Structure 1
Amino acid sequence: MLSSPSVRVRRSVTRLFLIAAGVAQSAGVAEGQDPPPAARTAIAPQAIPADPAVRTGQLPNGLRYYVRQNARPEQRVELRLVVNAGSVLEDDDQRGLAHFTEHMLFNGTRRFKKNDIVSYLESIGVKFGADLNAYTGFDETVYILPVPTDKPELLDRSFEILEDWAGGALFDSTDVVNERGVVLEEWRGGLGADTRVRDKQFPVIFQGSRYAERLPIGSPDIIRAANPAPLKRFYRDWYRPDNMAVVAVGDVDPARLEGLIRTHLGRLTQPARALARPTPPVPPNDSTLVTITTDPELQLGTVTVLYKHSAQSLRTVADYRRALVGRLYNYMLNERLTERSRRPDAAFAFAGSAYGSFVRATDVYQLQAAAKEGGLLPSLESVLLEARRVDEHGFLESELARARAALLRSYESANAEREKTESAAYAEEYVDQFLTGDPSPGIAWEYQQVQRLLPAVTVAEVNALARTWLTERNRVVAIAAPSSDSATVPSEAAVLATFRAAHSAAVTPYTETVSDADLVAAVPPPGRVVAERTNPELGVTTWTLSNGVRVILKPTDFKADEVLMRAWSPGGSSLVRDEDMASAVLATTVVERGGLGEFDATELGKKLTGKQARANTYVDALNEGLTGGGSTKDLETMFQLAYLRFTSPRRDSAAFVAFKAQIAPFFANRANSPEAAFSDTVMLTMAQHHARAQPVTQALLDRASLDRAFAIYQERFADASDFTFVFVGSFTLDAMRPLVQQWLATLPALQRNETWRDVGIRAPDGVIEKSVHKGVEPKASSLVIFSGPATFSPETRYALRSLSEYLEMRLLDNLREALGGTYSVSVGADVSKRPRPEFSVSIQFGSSPTRADSLFQTILAVIDSTKTGTVRDEDVQKVREQQLRAYEVNLRENSYWLGNLSAREENEEDPGGLLTYDRLIRGLTAAQLQSAARQYLDVTRYARFKLLPATVQP
C-alpha cells in the first residue's frame, strides 16, 4: 500500500488480529458504511478513475498485469506475483499446504533446481528474507522480488523466475520432505499465549465459516506428512493465469516491462476445466457471540468488540466520500479515547476504534481496550459509553474541524511526495487493486477529491456512523486475560448485561476547551551563527551558534517534504546517582506526558493538529538528546517544540499518576511471559547484575519519583552549549538560518563542558551457559553472544558487519536448508567506542527443545570451518554484492545520512568515509572474513542462553 493516507487501501484487520490475538490496534482504518440518504443522493455515482501512470492489461490467457515507471530507488524494479488464492481454499487434506506451496517455489522450479533461485538472487545483491520474500494469507499468496536493473540480463532472468513461480514448480519428493522441517519450525516459532488465545477465539469469531479452520500456518500433522500430490493439486487448481497478476514498478521503460510480461507470462496455459474461485462467507449471527479466554502466559487483559459488516467496495466517488467520513469518525473517537486514557481514573490503559477489511467478503468495525488489572468489564463499559456518547450527543464542530485539518494535511504531505514515492509502495497498492478490484486513482486525484469533499462533510453525517456501525446483530465480543486475573474475569452473562446497561445509560455530552494561546508564550531575541564551515564534497554545512550549540546541516532532494533531526549531548544517566536510576528511566517520558509550557498533553495534541512536526527527548546511558522531524512546511513548529523541550517542560502530578496507572498492566503480569524471563536473564548476565543494568519491572517503576524524574530532566537539559544538532532533508540553508538563530541559538547555555562517566558495566569473561525453563510450548529459543574488547575504527565496524552477514548466510544454509532445524537464524554484530571499545556478535535461532544443543554444535562447526577451512569466493561475492546494492540505495535516504553523520560526529570520525565506503566493500576478501572470525568468534569466551519449556528438566 502507499505510504500516503490513501483510503482506497483496505487494511486487513485480520492480519493485526493474527499478530496480537485480539483484533487489531487503535489505528483508524479507511472504510465506512453508507452515509445518510441525503448525502448519497448529493453525489452522482461517478466512477473512481484509474491512475493514468499505470499500464494495466490482461493477457489472452487471463493473467492481469500492472506496470509503472518509477525512479525511486534508481536502477531497481519491484516485481510481484500475486495469486488470488490462500489457505481458505485448501481441501481438508491440504491444511497448511497453501503456505507450504509458497515455500516450495523457492525449492526447485523448471529452470532453477533446489535452492538455485535464492542463490542466484543473492549473487546479484538481493537478500533472502529482507528483500526476496513471500507471504500467504487467508485469501492470497504474494511473491516479492526486488531486483537491480543496471544490467539487462538481470531483469530477463528475474522474469524467468516469475514465469517458473507461476507455472514451473517441481515439488520434488526429496525437496518436499526436506522442507517439512522448515515449515514445522515456522509453525513452532509462532506458538505461545497469543496463538493459544487466537485458536480459542477464532472458532467463535468465524463461527460457521471456513476461515475458522483454515489458518495459513495450517495443521502440523498435515505438514509432517506432506507429500507432492496434494501440493501439486493446490498448485494446479489455483496457480493459473486467470487467477494471478504480475506487478512491475521501477526504473525501467514500461514498454519493456510489458513486453517481458507478455513473453514470459503469456506462455502459461489456462486449464480446460478451471475451478470457480469461491469467496467463503462469514455467516451472520443474530445474537451476540462471546468468547472468554485466560492463559497463564498472557501479560495483558484485552476486550475487543467486533461488528461484522458486508465488505464495502471503493468503486465510485460516493464510496470514496463514505470512506472519508469513516476516517473522520475514527479519528475523533480515537482522540476522545486517548484523552480518557490519560485520566488517573480511566478504566483502560489504551483503547481504539477502527474499521477495515476483515476477510475478503467481510468488513469489521471494532472497539478494543487494554484493561487495567481487574478492569475487563469496566474497560468494556467505558468504550461502549464513549461510543454511546457519540450516538446520543454527537461530535463537536471543533472536533470535526481538527479531524478535517489532520486528514487534509496528511493528504497534502503525501501529494507533495508523489514524485518521491518508493516503488515498493506502488507495488503494494497494485497488489491490493488486483485482489479487491478497487481502482487505484493515484494520490494527485485523491488529494483533489479530499480538498473538494471534506469541507462538505457535516457533523450529523459523521455522527450517524455510530448507529450504522454499532449493531446488535453480527456482534462478537472477544475477551482474553492472564490466568492470574481469573477472579475478575467476567462471565458471558455479565458481558451481555454490560451491553444492556451501556445501551440505556445516561451519558453527558463531551465538552472541551481549546486554547488559542501561542505555542511559545514569549519569543526570545534571536541569537547568531558565529562560525560556518562547509564540506562541498559531502554537501554538509556546520554552524556554531552564539550559545555554543553546533548544527550540522545536509540539504537533500531525496524526499520532497521530509526533514529529520537528531541532537545529543554527552552525559546521560551515567551522571545520575544509582539510587535515582528508576526516576532516570522515566524522566523524559514523564515530562513529555505532562505537556509543554501552558499546554497539557491533550491540549498540546489539539494545538498541533494539522502540523507534521515532532521533537522528542531521550536520556540513555551516555547521552541526553532529541529525535524529531517533520514536514518542510512545519519546520518552525518542529524548532519551537525543540525549544520548549529545553525551556518549558511541564510538571504535571496528575499526568504522572495517570501514566503509572496506564503502564501498570503491562508490568503486573510481566513475570508470566517466558520471553520476558529470557530477556531479563540475558540482560542481567551480560551486565553481571550491575545495579544500573536492571530490567524495567513494576518494582523499579514503584521506586520512581516525579520530583526526581523532573529534576533529572531539568539537569540534563539545562545546558545546550555542548549539544550537537544534525538536520537532513528537504530544506535550504537560507530557510534554516533564521529558524536556527531564533530557536536553537537562544537555548540556555551554562558552558558546563560535561562528559559521560564509565559506571563499570562489563560483559563476563569465559564461557557462560544459562538456561531458562519457562513456558508450556514445545519450543526453544537460543542466543549466543560473543563479546570482548576491540579497536574502534571504520575497518573494525565493517569487518564485523561482513562477518555477521556471511555467517548468517552460512547458518541459514546449514541449520535451515540442510538440517531443517530452524525457520530463521539472525546474526548481528556491533562495535562501540564508549565507555570503552567493545564488540559483540550475537546469533539467535528457534528450534525444537530436543535439537537446540545439536544445532549449537553445528554453529560451532561452521565457525571453525570459517576460521580454518575454505571461505568460498562465491559467498564472498554474495556478501559484497548485497552490501553494494544496499549502499547504492542508502546514499539516497535521509535516514541513512542522519544516522551516519550523527555517529561519525559523535565518534570523532571523518564523515568523508561515507562517500568512500564502497572501497571497503569492493576490497572484501575471504582472508578478511577468516581473520575476523578468528579475532571475534573466540569459542573460549561466549555466553549461551536457552529458553526451554518448563517441562524440560534442568
Structure 2
Amino acid sequence: MKVKRFFALSLLTGFCSAQAQVIPFDATVRTGKLANGFTYYIRHNEEPKNRVVFYLANKLGSVLETDDQRGLAHFIEHMNFNGTTHFPKNELVNYLQKSGVRFGADINAYTGFDETVYQLPLPSDNPEILKNGIEILHDWAHGATLDENEINKERGVILEEKRLGKGASDRMRSKFFPVILNNSRYASRLPIGTEEVLNNFKPETIRRFYNDWYRPDLQALIVVGDVNVDQMERTIKSKFADLKNPVKEKPRPDYTIPLTGANKFIALTDTEMPTTSAEILFKQPQLPLHTIKQYRESVARALFNQMLGERFSELQRQPNPPFLRASAGIGPFMANLDVLNLSITARPGNLQEGVKAAWREAERVKRFGFNGTELERAKKGYLTQFEAAFKEKDKTNSESYVKEYLQYFLYGTASPGISYEYELVKKDIANITINDINTLGQLFSITTNRDIIITAPEKEKANLPDEATFVGWMKAAATENIFPFKDEVNTQDILKAEPVAGKIVSRGSNSKLGITTWTLSNGIKVVLKPTVFKNDEILFSGFAPGGSSLYTYADYQSATAANMIPSFGAGNYNTTQLSKYLSGKQLAIQVSIGERTQNIYGQANNANLENALKLMYAYITEPRKDSAQFHGILERSKASLINRSNDPASVFRDTISAVLGNHNVRRTGPSLEKLNQVNLDRAYTIFQERFKNNGGFTIVFTGSIDTLAVKPLVEKYIASLPAKGKAEEAKDLNIDIPSGWIERKVYKGSEPKATVNLVFSGPFTYSFQNKLKLDALKETLEIRLLERLREDEGGVYSPSVRISTVKYPKQRYNLVVSFGCAPQNVDKLISSVLDEADKIKSSGPTQINLDKFKAEDQRTLETAIKTNGFWQNYILGQLQNQEDMDEINQYSQQLISINTNDVKETAMKYLNGNNFIKLILLPGKDQGN
C-alpha cells in the first residue's frame, strides 16, 4: 500500500463533526497560481541534502489526441529531449549528464491517457545547475522546437519502443480493451499510438497538438528539496509568467468510460500465451479522495483487500491447490471507474476447477463475511504502516512528497501531511466495524457492469467455456454447502525451546567508518554500523560459506528446493499461523541457501528487533517439514511449466542461462524432470545441514542501532546458534562462461521483433581500482551506444550495458550489451556496437563522456552514502570479498584519477574479442511457430 504523506495536525480539530469536510492541503507546502493559470507547489526538504526534485505536470495525454494524432502526446514527450529553445538537438541530455544527472535513471518522463509528467532531480548546491534546470523546465512547458529533421529521426526510436511491447499480451489487449472500456475514447488512445500515425504524420499535426494543449492553465511545477522556498517562489513567478495560453483556447474535455449496465464476456487465445487466466471485473464509479468521509471509505477498502488477500493465500497453500494463483480486491481501474477484480490463473486444463474455487471464496465472504479477529489483525497491520511513516516524517525522501502533490494537482487526491493522516487513520480504524467491511463483500453480488475476460493458449481454444457455461460455474459454486471461515490463530511462543545465551568474547572497531565488530562465543562475527539516516530502521544480513556447491548433481534439485523449508513456518507456527502472528509487526526475515553461501536477511524497527531475531533463530534451529505444502508448491510449479515453451521471452532466458553456464545442469532452465528429482526429506536434511554449523557466519547490522539494547539480543539469539566443528568452504563448480566465439539464435515468436545480447567475458584482475575502471568503460560505452544506436541510427529504444565482476571462486568479469530491434537490423546494429567498442580500444572514450561518468558516479555516491541500504551492501561486499573496509574513503580520489587512457587499456584487455558470445532471439521461421 502506498502511504500518503500528510501533515497539518492543527487542522484536524473538529473533523469528526463533518464527514463531508474537505481534507485540507498540506500547510507546509507553498502553493500558488500565476495569472496565466500556471500552478506551483514548493516544499523545503533535506532528504537528501543538497538535492531538489522537480516535476512538471501537464493535464494532457493521449486521450486528447484526434484520430490523426494517435501517439503524438507521447511523441512530444520524446521531442522535449530532442531540441528546445535553449538546448538545441540533444544538448539538454548532454548538459544534464555533464552535471551528474543520468538519462533514464534520473531525468525521465512518462505519458499516460490523461497526463504527461517530466521529472528532473538536480543538485541544489550548484547555483548554475539550478538556474539551468529552471530553464529546462521552462522549455519543457512550451519551448520544444519540434524540428522536422529531429522528428523524423525520432520516429524510429518510438517505433522501436512500440516494438518492445509487442507480443501475446498486446495482441489480446487490443481485442478486449474496446470490450471492457465500452468502446470509450480510452479504448482507442493507447499512449504508444499507431504505426500508421507514427510513420506518416506531418510536422504540422504534432505542432497542432502541442499548441493546443501545452499551455500554462494545464500545467504545474512541483519542487521539493533542499532549496530556499521564498527564493524559489520568486524565480517561478518571474520565469513562468511569460507562458501564454492559446488565443482561441480549446476547452479541456473530461472523457469518461460510460457504465452501460451491460455485462461483457470475451475469450481469447494466442499461440504464445503460457497460461489460462480468467478475470471477473465489477466496474463501478470511482471513489474520489477529497473528503473525510471518502477517506474513511478508502481505509475500509484497504482493510477489506488485506483480509481478502489473506483468505486467498490460505487457499493457495492447500496440498492440491485448485489454481496456480488467485487474488481479489477493489481499487482504481481507469478514468472515472474503480473495479472489484477477481483474478484466477488456472492449472492447465482446470479452468472450471479454478474458477469455482475462487468464486466459492467470494461467496463465503458474501454469505458469512469476515471474523472479528481478521478485522483486528488487519487494523493492526494497517495502523502500523502509518505509525512507521509518522516516525520517519522528518526523514521522508523528497520523491515521496513530489508524487503526493502530483496526484493532488492531477486528480485532487487529498494530501494534507502524515501528521494529519495518522490522526485520521487512528480515528477511522477505531470506528470501522465488521459490518462496514462485510458490506463491501456484497459487491460480489452485483449483476450489472460485470466483465469476464478469459485468455489462454491457442491449444485450449476448443475447451474454453462460453458465457453461459462460465456463469453456470459461478452459480454452481455459489449454491454449494459452504461453511464459515475458521480463523486459525496460534497464541504460543514461536520457539519450542528457549535459547541458551552465549557471550561476546572480543571487540574491534573502525573509528573512521564508525563500525564495531563483535566476535561471539560460538565463532560468529557481528558487525554494527549505527547511522542516523532513518529514525527507526535496522537492516541486518549474514552469510557463511558453503551453499549448494557442496552437493552433487544427484542432490542439486533437492538442495535448491531446500529454500522452500522456511515457507513451511518455524518453531510452533505453521505458515498460516506465522503470517497472522507477523501481521502488524515491522519486521521481515529470510533465510536461504545460495550456491556458495548460506544467507540471512532481515529488517525491523527497534521495537520488533527481538521478534525478528527470534524468528531468525526459529528458522535456523526449529525448521518445519510440511508435506502438504511441499506437494502443493511442487504441483503448481509443474503446472506452470506445461506451456512455458509458448513464451518466447522464457525460452530465450533459458537459452541465455544454458549457454552462459556452459550447459551445466545447474544453469539450464526448469523442467518436469528436474522437479521430479526433488525429495522433501532430502531437502529438509540439506537445510538442516547447512545451518547446523553457524560458526562461519558474519552478520552485519546497519541503521538506528542502540548498541546497549542490541547486545543482549545478539547474545541470546545469535551467540546461541549451533556451531559444530570447522566451517566448510564453498566448492568451485567450474561453471564459467565458455571461451571463444559463440553464436546462438533462437527462433520463437510471431512478432517482427528481435532481442540481442552480446557477452564479453573472461578472467579479471580483481581490485577496487580495476572495478572502477571497468565501470567507467561500461558507462562511456553505454553513452556512445545511446547516442549512436538510438539518436543517430534510430534503431533501438534503450540499449543497455551491464557489468559484473566476481572475486570468488575465480576472478572473472562479464560485460553484456543488450537491446531490442527489428529483425532486419540485427546485423547492422551489432556491427555498430562492435565498432564503438573498437573505437574505445583504439582511442579511448571522449573526455566529455568520461567526465559525464565521473559526474554521474560522484553525484550518485553523494546521495547513496547517506542511506542504510548502501552501507549494508558495501560492508557485506567488502567482507565477502575480503577487501579493505576503508576503500570507500578513497573512492572520490580514485574516481578523479581515471583518465581516458585507463579506460582505453581496460577496453583493450576486456573487450579483446577472445571470448565473445552473440545470443539473438528472432521471430519463428514460419512466423507462427
Quick check: TM above 0.5? yes
Matched, 1:639 2:593: no
Selected match of 2:196 from 221, 225, 236:
221
- Does the CA-based 8 Å contact 2:5-2:415 persist in structure 1? no
Matched, 1:718 2:692: yes
CA distance in 1, matches of 2:861, 2:201: 41
User: Residue 758 of structure 1: CA displacement?
Assistant: 0.9
Matched, 1:411 2:386: yes
Which range is displaced more, 579-588 or 171-180?
579-588
Compute the TM-score of the two structures, normalised by the length of structure 1. 0.95
Matched, 1:937 2:925: no
Deviations 1:689-726 (A, max 9, x none): 12332222232122111111111111111111001101
User: Residue 488 of structure 1: CA displacement?
Assistant: 3.5
Selected match of 2:882 from 908, 911, 928:
908
Q: Tell me what 1:204 maps to.
A: 179
Matched, 1:708 2:707: no
Q: Tell me what 1:34 maps to.
A: none
User: Residue 506 of structure 1: CA displacement?
Assistant: 4.1
List aligned pairs for 1:5-84, cutoff 5 A. Answer: 44-84=19-59
Q: Tell me what 2:232 maps to.
A: 257
- Does the CA-based 8 Å contact 1:176-1:226 persist in structure 2? no
Q: Which amino acid in 1 is paired with 2:215?
A: R
- Does the CA-based 8 Å contact 1:300-1:665 persist in structure 2? no
- Does the CA-based 8 Å contact 1:84-1:140 persist in structure 2? yes
User: Residue 189 of structure 1: CA displacement?
Assistant: 0.7
User: Residue 338 of structure 1: CA displacement?
Assistant: 0.5
Q: Tell me what 1:489 maps to.
A: 464
User: Residue 186 of structure 1: CA displacement?
Assistant: 0.1
Matched, 1:171 2:170: no
Deviations 1:369-424 (A, max 9, x none): 22222222322222222122111111000000100000011111111111111111
- Does the CA-based 8 Å contact 1:771-1:946 persist in structure 2? yes
Partner SS, residue 71 of structure 1: coil
Q: Tell me what 1:947 maps to.
A: 921
- Does the CA-based 8 Å contact 2:878-2:885 persist in structure 1? yes
CA distance in 2, matches of 1:435, 1:538: 45
Selected match of 2:97 from 115, 122, 126:
122
- Does the CA-based 8 Å contact 1:376-1:490 persist in structure 2? no
CA distance in 1, matches of 2:249, 2:588: 54
Selected match of 2:170 from 189, 195, 198:
195
User: Residue 504 of structure 1: CA displacement?
Assistant: 4.1
List aligned pairs for 1:249-398, cutoff 5 A. Answer: 249-398=224-373
Selected match of 2:581 from 595, 602, 607:
607
User: Residue 664 of structure 1: CA displacement?
Assistant: 3.0
Matched, 1:451 2:426: yes
Q: Tell me what 1:36 maps to.
A: none
User: Residue 158 of structure 1: CA displacement?
Assistant: 0.5
Q: Which amino acid in 2 is paired with 1:692?
A: R
Unaligned runs of 5+ in 1: 9-39
User: Residue 498 of structure 1: CA displacement?
Assistant: 2.4
Which range is displaced more, 633-642 or 502-511?
502-511
Partner SS, residue 543 of structure 1: strand
Deviations 1:600-647 (A, max 9, x none): 111100111111112112212111111121222211111011111210
CA distance in 2, matches of 1:640, 1:952: 58
Selected match of 1:823 from 788, 797, 805:
797
Unaligned runs of 5+ in 2: 8-14
Q: Which amino acid in 2 is paired with 1:473?
A: T
Selected match of 1:689 from 639, 663, 669:
663
Which range is displaced more, 274-283 or 763-772?
274-283
Which range is displaced more, 758-767 or 663-672?
663-672
Matched, 1:751 2:750: no
CA distance in 2, matches of 1:506, 1:435: 48
Matched, 1:145 2:137: no
Q: Which amino acid in 2 is paired with 1:716?
A: R
Aligned-residue sequence identity (percent) comes to: 39
CA distance in 1, matches of 2:77, 2:749: 30
Q: Tell me what 1:656 maps to.
A: 630
Residues 6 and 892 from structure 1, CA distance in 2 versus in 1: closer, same or farther, beyond 3 angstroms? closer
CA distance in 1, matches of 2:799, 2:765: 27
Residues 753 and 467 from structure 1, CA distance in 2 versus in 1: closer, same or farther, beyond 3 angstroms? closer
Q: Tell me what 1:236 maps to.
A: 211
- Does the CA-based 8 Å contact 1:279-1:361 persist in structure 2? no
Partner SS, residue 572 of structure 2: coil
User: Residue 276 of structure 1: CA displacement?
Assistant: 1.5
Matched, 1:895 2:869: yes
Partner SS, residue 107 of structure 1: coil
Partner SS, residue 344 of structure 1: coil
Q: Which amino acid in 2 is paired with 1:50?
A: F
User: Residue 153 of structure 1: CA displacement?
Assistant: 1.2
User: Residue 667 of structure 1: CA displacement?
Assistant: 1.8
CA distance in 2, matches of 1:696, 1:257: 56
Q: Tell me what 1:27 maps to.
A: none
Q: Tell me what 2:498 maps to.
A: 523
- Does the CA-based 8 Å contact 2:68-2:201 persist in structure 1? no
Deviations 1:758-811 (A, max 9, x none): 122122111111100111110000000100011111112111111111111110
- Does the CA-based 8 Å contact 2:780-2:845 persist in structure 1? no
- Does the CA-based 8 Å contact 2:641-2:672 persist in structure 1? yes
Q: Tell me what 2:556 maps to.
A: 581
- Does the CA-based 8 Å contact 1:797-1:830 persist in structure 2? no
List aligned pairs for 1:670-685, cutoff 5 A. Answer: 670-685=644-659
Partner SS, residue 883 of structure 1: helix
CA distance in 1, matches of 2:669, 2:754: 22
Q: Which amino acid in 2 is paired with 1:705?
A: N
Selected match of 1:879 from 826, 829, 853:
853
- Does the CA-based 8 Å contact 2:4-2:415 persist in structure 1? no
CA distance in 2, matches of 1:652, 1:830: 38
CA distance in 2, matches of 1:643, 1:287: 56
User: Residue 487 of structure 1: CA displacement?
Assistant: 4.5
Matched, 1:4 2:38: no
User: Residue 654 of structure 1: CA displacement?
Assistant: 0.5
CA distance in 1, matches of 2:570, 2:176: 43
List aligned pairs for 1:91-110, cutoff 5 A. Answer: 91-110=66-85
Matched, 1:181 2:156: yes
CA distance in 1, matches of 2:482, 2:426: 35
Q: Which amino acid in 1 is paired with 2:183?
A: G
User: Residue 314 of structure 1: CA displacement?
Assistant: 1.2
CA distance in 1, matches of 2:581, 2:378: 12
User: Residue 132 of structure 1: CA displacement?
Assistant: 0.6
User: Residue 41 of structure 1: CA displacement?
Assistant: 10
- Does the CA-based 8 Å contact 1:287-1:472 persist in structure 2? no
Deviations 1:466-508 (A, max 9, x none): 2246521111111111223334422222112223334444421
Q: Tell me what 1:15 maps to.
A: none
CA distance in 2, matches of 1:750, 1:650: 21
Which range is displaced more, 392-401 or 553-562?
553-562
- Does the CA-based 8 Å contact 1:303-1:379 persist in structure 2? no
Runs of 4+ in 1 over 6 A off after TM superposition: none
User: Residue 545 of structure 1: CA displacement?
Assistant: 0.5
The alignment yields a C-alpha RMSD, in angstroms, of 1.7
CA distance in 2, matches of 1:367, 1:50: 34
- Does the CA-based 8 Å contact 2:182-2:257 persist in structure 1? yes
Q: Tell me what 2:604 maps to.
A: 630
Partner SS, residue 419 of structure 1: helix
Q: Which amino acid in 1 is paired with 2:133?
A: S
Residues 778 and 96 from structure 1, CA distance in 2 versus in 1: closer, same or farther, beyond 3 angstroms? same
List aligned pairs for 1:722-733, cutoff 5 A. Answer: 722-733=696-707
Selected match of 2:822 from 845, 848, 853:
848
Partner SS, residue 573 of structure 2: coil
Q: Which amino acid in 1 is paired with 2:351?
A: L
CA distance in 1, matches of 2:227, 2:705: 29
CA distance in 2, matches of 1:470, 1:375: 25
Q: Tell me what 1:591 maps to.
A: 565
Which range is displaced more, 618-627 or 403-412?
618-627
Selected match of 1:808 from 782, 789, 799:
782
Which range is displaced more, 284-293 or 426-435?
284-293
CA distance in 2, matches of 1:369, 1:608: 27
Matched, 1:85 2:85: no
User: Residue 227 of structure 1: CA displacement?
Assistant: 2.8
